[in-house]
Amino acid sequence: MAHYLLFYDYVEDILEQRGPHREAHLALIRRWKEEGRILMAGAVGDPPHGAAIAFRVDDSDAIGEFVAADPYVRAGLVPAHRVERWAVV
Residues 32-64: tens digit of each pLDDT: 999 999 999 999 999 999 999 999 999 999 999
Give the global pTM.
0.95
CA 35, 24, 42, 80 dihedral sign is: positive
Please report, as a single letter, which amino acid is at residue 72.
Answer: Y
Distance, CA of 9 to CA of 49 (rounded, Å) = 6
pLDDT at 63: 98
pLDDT at 15: 96
Q: Which helix (H) or strand (E) holds 66?
A: helix 61-69
Domains identified in the chain, total number: 1
Distance, CA of 6 to CA of 51 (rounded, Å) = 8
Asked if 58 and 2 count as a contact pair (C-beta separation under 8 A), the reply is yes
Tens digits of residue pLDDT in 11-39: 999 999 999 999 999 999 999 999 999 99
Q: Whole domain around residue 63: which residue ranges?
A: 2-85
Tens digits of residue pLDDT in 64-83: 999 999 999 999 999 999 99
